Each structure stands twice: as structure tokens, then as C-alpha cells.
Structure 1
Amino acid sequence: MTVPPTAAAAASATQAGDAPGGDRIAWAKLSLCFLPLKNPISDAKVLTGRQKPLTEVAILFCEIETRDGWRGMGFSYSKRAGGPGMFAHAREIADNLIGEDPNDIERLWTKLVWAGASVGRSGLATQAIAAIDICLWDLKARRAGLPLSKLIGSHRDSVRCYNTSGGFLSTPLPEVLENCAASREKGIGGIKIKVGQPDWSKDLERVKAVRKLLDGGFPLAVDANQQWDRPTAMRVGRALEDFDLFWIEEPLDAYDAKGHAMLAADLATPIATGEMLTSVAEHYELIRNDSVDFIQPDAGRVGGITQFLKIMNLADHAGLMMAPHFAMEIHLHLCACYPREPWVEHFDWLEPLFDESLEIRDGRMVVPDRPGLGATISEQARAWTVDSHEVGKRA
């Protein structure tokens, strides 16, 4: 648990000219951790031969300490490939933080992205920066003694949540039904299951069975993980209208803004996408083309909270609903700040990484009242760490 500086240390810093606004980053640590999954996971990308089953999640942690003794923690992630690359890129640019004012988060984001601009300002580069950016926001909120949501400006103290982790295509239908029932019993407010199989009639069978279990009033969504072409997405989308879904997610390739716009205009079921995009500019393409009803940015992919807030403002201006992808430990706070009632995605995968757990009650996830993200890296996460790198010196 991060402890604020002692009164004596703070007084000493003030006398030395290091008032809170003059504090500086003294030390940063990056850690690469591999979180093993209990069972290999498959979605439509695996069934179509584009990816291998998912067996672990790479986590890039960032920890920062200032001269006055304030600390923060942030993380980003990668599934299948990319974790070591993210760690390597973050390691190359991390020394740009030392001696900087931790309050100037957007300026530091710009400094970091230009430090590695030769490899681009999206993709792996921004995913590496995301862990640092999120850490700086966590530090700023801890310093203020506020939950991150309250630092940004919250609209609510809890957020509607839906579960995804129980409905993968690698899970047999009887087990999916068991998982759905367990999620509802736990107090989760919605269910999303995976679709996108080569034979989409099998998708309809799974959706029909889950809808029968949940009854017509319980929120249900599906996710095709980009595996349909435009004609298939239209045919299946029309067939799915019988099941009163609250969205169809990623029916087309993530970059097909015009195709998603066509579906959004022609189908009664809302369209959701955005999780695979890694910049504000890419999300703006969805927004300006009227491609989505629910936009799904991922702070860990777009470059952190600084960039996420820009997407959030654009989405609100366009009148869109929001449902960020994965990493509920981060997105719960951001969802609490969105003016329109959003959804947060419940995945239990990351829970072993932190000492704290999130509360779910009456279909909603409760925003923790602890300072910052309200999360502390667990000893189990430390044990799963395979590489680390430090710059600067601890206070």
C-alpha cells in the first residue's frame, strides 16, 4: 500500500523549495509480468485460423516515485504477442521522466510519444506509454487523496457491468449456461457471449439457448471479434434481431468504419466496436462516420487515460454510448466520469494481480473510495514477473 510522505518530509521539501507543485519524478520501475490463464481461451479469431488460443496475458506495470515520496502504479497489457515489445519500448523512453513534474501529465505524454515517434504514435508505442500515463494519473489522484474518478469528475458511484469471461467459444454450451447463471447470481447486470463461428447457424443456437436461460428482460450482447464480412454481418445481424440484444460487437474488421456505419444504419440492434484501435484519430474515424452506437476504447491500448479522456469527450459530443474494453480496474473509474450511463466489462482474469477486489451489487460495479485506482500490485504478480528495469533513484 502506498503511504503518503510524512509531515516532516513534506515540511522539509517545502523548505527546500519543493512545494507540491515543484515535486519531481525521482524513480520509475517497469515490470513485465505474464498472467497465466486457467484454461486456453478461444474466440472467433481462433476458429477462423487467424490466432492461436490465448493461454496468458502479458502485463506491463509501471511504478513511479517522486522526490517527496509520492508513489503511483499503472499498467497496460497485451494478449498473445507484444508484451516483451511493449516492455522494451517503455524501457527505452522511461529515462525521459526523471526530473519532470508528475502533474504535467499531458506534456509528459507528448514528450514520451515523440521520444519514440520513429516507430509511430499508435500501436505498440502508445500501449507502452499507457502504463506510464495511467501510473501518473494514479499518482496525481493519490496525492490529492481522491479516487481517480473523483479527481477527474464523477457522475456516479457505480457503473452497470456485464460479464464476458464466461462465454468464450472454447467453452461448451452447457458450461456457458452455467457461467451465465452464476454471473447473474453474483449480481452482474448483463452477459456477453462470443459468436463468429464459420457456421453461423451454430452461433444462433448458442444465442437462443442463452436468451432462453436469461429471459427477454436480462441484458445480453454478442461479440464476433471482427470475423464477418459485410454480407454475413448483415444476414446474421438481421437474424439476431429476434433476441433483443443490447449490442453486436465487432461484426466487421476494426478499421472498416464505413461497413460498421452501414450496419448501424440498417440494423435495429446497436453496434459496438473500437477496442482494437490504438489512437484518438482511429476512434474519430468511427465517430465521424456514424459507425457505432457504443464506442469501446481501451485506455491500455490508446495510450492511457490522457488519450482516453479525449475520446470520451468526442463520443459524448456525438451522443454515443460507451462501454470500454477489458481492464475494469481502470475503466470503472473512467466510466464513472462519462455523462451518459455506460457499461463496464467484467473480466475476472486480472484479479490475482491486485490485493484489492471490486464490489458488484445489483447489476453494478461499485467505484472504490480508495485513493487513485485503489489497486495495489500483489505478491503473486511480483512472482509472475519475468523482467524489470529501473531509472533514477528512490527518494
Structure 2
Amino acid sequence: MVSGTNSQAVTYAKATDTKTAAETGDRIAWVKISLSILPLATPVSDAKVLTGRQKPLTEVAIIFAEIRTRDGFEGVGFSYSKRAGGQGIYAHAKEIADNLLGEDPNDIDKIYTKLLWAGASVGRSGMAVQAISPIDIALWDLKAKRAGLPLAKLLGAHRDSVQCYNTSGGFLHTPLEQVIKNVAISRESGIGGIKIKVGQPDTREDIRRLTAVRQELGDDFPLMVDANQQWDRETAIRMGRKMEAFNLVWIEEPLDAYDVEGHAALAAALDTPIATGEMLTSYREHEQLILGNASDYVQPDAPRVGGITPFLKIMDLAARHGKKLAPHFAMEVHLHLSAAYPLEPWLEHFEWLNPLFNEQLELRDGRMWISDRPGLGFTLSEQARKWTQRECEFGKRP
């Protein structure tokens, strides 16, 4: 018989033979950052162009991060910029990417903090975090792939599909007759809602286009408008009151993105919900928006706020305050995040990024459906590679 003392000694000996988590596990071995320029078939104009504040959009800069681990797992993520900033995001991502090497890819929040400190002198919002976004998204993609799950399932999905609305057919450069045709095409393709752009210098033209689209859709089909920050407070309240009759799901960005007080006053004055937040580039900025009751729908953009890690924190805060969710752009990422939101969200449909990926999302019955592919469910296309202008690698690819 082994005495109690000897038994404890044997147990202790076995315990000391056991490796700790720090001594085991996978490690990041290789990172690639690349910049691709995606051309648009037609120059795109919203209200910012018609008011003279911006030039028409002709291309989108896409910054990719590809991460591979010692055990052979790989993740892909992206950020983007329109008109300007793509070169800067790429340059900053290149500067901080080597901090990933040797890290456990599962420790995403730890890595995020490390990358923030690596670029601390340029702040914790804007381009500084947009450069972290492709890396952070790639790490979440990798983590879900390691688990063999779609990202939505890894996060804990509330639904397997998300109601989806189209934006790309209703820009202001598009003649009204073509907008009406685009609306019909979108409905036939299975879209669940339509958003058109407003905010023109002549507000009567906004009402004319809105009237025609509502007549085409009927009274109850979900319809949204987006002013792209081009109204002042007086115009916004007047237009908001005129638009109450159109049964809109929301009025988007009626005021400057940072006018929390103005948006809050507008949201309180109108029956039509207010949506905003797409231009904000940090958790703290969204915190001000949410705590200030400045919108009914919050519209964070994962590539703009710094990736999935801060986006999840924004989701948690928004849900605790009863806000609806309607993420901006990047449906390839936001489908998974929206599926994990407790309140029924909306997903924005843009087909612009389709050429970048070998796989496509499924749209039917007014909703976008999550595939059974693990991670985000995408691999980069040869076309994305051909559009690459700059790239850099760190470490050695296993």
C-alpha cells in the first residue's frame, strides 16, 4: 500500500511533467500584407460629390492580411479605404506586422493591444486602427477555421441568415429611370430592402426620387435613405418631417458624423428612426454615440473601427442599450457579426468586393445566408492577386 505522503509525491511528480499552456500551442510563423486597388466600372457619386466636398469614387483600396501558423492554419482579413488613405493604411500595417511573429494566434485581444502599443504615437483611431483591422479579422478567421466553424457559429449565432438591403443601385449619379430598374432587379434577386441616396443641394429632387422609388416598391417594402452627412440641423428636421410619410426604415447620416447632440435631438423629434456611425473609427467614438442616444440604428464598420475585436465590444454596448444594428459595407465580415447580434439586424449588400473572392454569399428570400464554410468562408481570387500593387512578408511560411 502507498502511504498518503508517497501518493501525494507521485501526484506532484506527474503534475510537474505536464506542460503549461504557454509551453504548448500553435504560434504565428508568417504574415503577408498586401495592397490591391479595385477599380469600379462606373464612377460613383453620393451627396458629398454633389455638394462639392469630394470627387466621384473610381476605385477602392483593399489592404489584405494573410496569416499562417506553425501548425499550418491560415487566416485572411481585409481593410479598405475609399478615395484616399489606402497607401497609408498599408504602410502602417507593414510597420507593425512583425509584432505578430511567435504569438499564439488564439490570444487575439492580447495581440490587438500589442499592435495598438506598437503604433501608439499615431493614436488609437483612424488610420492607426484601420491598419490593425485586416490583421485582427484574419486572426478571427483563423480561429474559426481551427474550430471548423463559420465565424458566426464560433461567436454564437442568434440566426442563420440576416435580412439584407441593397445600396449600390441608388447612388445619385444614377438617373432616376435606372434607379427604378435597379430596384426591380434587386427585388428579383431576393433582396429584402432598398436604400437610396439623398442630400442633394435641391431638396425637391430628393423628394421626387424618393416618391418614385416608394411608388415602385409599394407602401410596405423596406426602404431607407442616406444623406451622407450633408444636411445642417435645420434642413435635417425639415426633411425628416417631410419623409415621415414615406414609411422609411431609417434616415441615415442626416448630420455630420460627430454631431452627437444634433443626431440625438433629431432622433427624439422624429418617428422615423435615425441611423449613423459608419464614419466613426474607434470604440470610444461609438460609445459617445450610443450613450448619447444619438441614433436608433448603430452602423459600425469592422474594417474602420479596428477589426472584429473592437466591433464585438461595440455590439455588446449597443445591445445593452437596446439599439438596432446595421453595419456599414463589408458584408463578407458583417454577415457573421450581424448573425451574432441579439436584436434583428440589417446587412448592407454591396457587390463591389465580389471579384476579390473565389466564393460568393447566398441571397434569397430577402436575407443573406451563412454558408457552412469555416471562418469567414472566403479565399482570395486570382483577380485580387492581379490587382496587387504592393506587398511584404514577415517570417517563414510553413
Fold match by TM threshold 0.5: yes
Q: The residue matched to 1:307 in structure 2 has which SS?
A: helix
Where does the alignment leave 5 or more consecutive residues of structure 1 unmatched? Answer: 1-15
Pick from 168, 184, 193: which aligns with 1:165?
Answer: 168
Deviation of residue 281 (structure 1)? 0.4
* Structure 1 counterpart of 2:271: 268
1:293 aligns with 2:310: no
Pick from 43, 46, 64: which aligns with 1:40?
Answer: 43
C-alpha contact 1:141 1:371 (8 A) present in aligned 2: yes
* Structure 2 counterpart of 1:85: 88
Q: The residue matched to 1:166 in structure 2 has which SS?
A: helix
Q: The residue matched to 1:113 in structure 2 has which SS?
A: helix
Alpha-carbon distance in structure 1 between the residues aligned to 2:344 and 2:162? 8
Pick from 383, 387, 391: which aligns with 1:388?
Answer: 391
State TM-score, norm by structure 1.
Answer: 0.95
Deviation of residue 193 (structure 1)? 0.2
Compared with structure 1, are the counterparts of its residues 374 and 97 closer, same or farther at alpha carbon in structure 2 (3 Å cutoff)?
same
* Structure 1 counterpart of 2:29: 26
1:373 aligns with 2:376: yes
1:223 aligns with 2:226: yes
Alpha-carbon distance in structure 2 between the residues aligned to 1:356 and 1:310? 29
1:156 aligns with 2:172: no
Give CA deviations for 1:58-97 in whole Å, capped at 9, x if unaligned. 0000000001111010001000000000000000000000
Q: The residue matched to 1:176 in structure 2 has which SS?
A: helix
Alpha-carbon distance in structure 1 between the residues aligned to 2:347 and 2:157? 15
* Structure 2 counterpart of 1:123: 126
Give CA deviations for 1:95-123 in whole Å, capped at 9, x if unaligned. 00000000000010010011001011000
Alpha-carbon distance in structure 1 between the residues aligned to 2:139 and 2:23? 15
1:332 aligns with 2:330: no
How much identity, in percent, do the aligned residues show?
70
Compared with structure 1, are the counterparts of its residues 342 and 292 closer, same or farther at alpha carbon in structure 2 (3 Å cutoff)?
same
* Structure 1 counterpart of 2:262: 259
* Structure 2 counterpart of 1:58: 61
Alpha-carbon distance in structure 1 between the residues aligned to 2:332 and 2:216? 29
State TM-score, norm by structure 2.
Answer: 0.94
Larger radius of gyration: 2
Deviation of residue 21 (structure 1)? 5.7
Q: The residue matched to 1:131 in structure 2 has which SS?
A: helix
Give CA deviations for 1:321-348 in whole Å, capped at 9, x if unaligned. 0000000000000000000000000000
Instruction: Give the partner amino acid of 2:353.
Output: L
C-alpha contact 1:21 1:103 (8 A) present in aligned 2: no
Alpha-carbon distance in structure 2 between the residues aligned to 1:237 and 1:87? 39
Pick from 310, 314, 317: which aligns with 1:314?
Answer: 317
Compared with structure 1, are the counterparts of its residues 136 and 47 closer, same or farther at alpha carbon in structure 2 (3 Å cutoff)?
same
Alpha-carbon distance in structure 2 between the residues aligned to 1:18 and 1:321? 39
Instruction: Give the partner amino acid of 1:305.
Output: I
Alpha-carbon distance in structure 1 between the residues aligned to 2:123 and 2:202? 38
1:232 aligns with 2:240: no
Alpha-carbon distance in structure 1 between the residues aligned to 2:288 and 2:51? 27
Alignment of 1:357-368 (within 5 A): 357-368=360-371
Q: The residue matched to 1:22 in structure 2 has which SS?
A: coil
Q: The residue matched to 2:132 in structure 1 has which SS?
A: helix
* Structure 2 counterpart of 1:10: none
Alpha-carbon distance in structure 2 between the residues aligned to 1:365 and 1:115? 37
1:179 aligns with 2:182: yes
Pick from 91, 94, 97: which aligns with 1:94?
Answer: 97
Deviation of residue 44 (structure 1)? 0.3
Alpha-carbon distance in structure 2 between the residues aligned to 1:258 and 1:59? 33
* Structure 1 counterpart of 2:252: 249
Alpha-carbon distance in structure 1 between the residues aligned to 2:23 and 2:139? 15
C-alpha contact 1:61 1:76 (8 A) present in aligned 2: yes
Pick from 76, 79, 82: which aligns with 1:73?
Answer: 76
Deviation of residue 20 (structure 1)? 11
Where does the alignment leave 5 or more consecutive residues of structure 2 unmatched? Answer: 1-18
1:103 aligns with 2:106: yes
Pick from 213, 221, 228: which aligns with 1:210?
Answer: 213
Compared with structure 1, are the counterparts of its residues 324 and 20 closer, same or farther at alpha carbon in structure 2 (3 Å cutoff)?
farther
C-alpha contact 1:331 1:344 (8 A) present in aligned 2: yes
Give CA deviations for 1:257-307 in whole Å, capped at 9, x if unaligned. 000000100011000000000000000111111101000000000000000
Instruction: Give the partner amino acid of 2:223.
Output: L
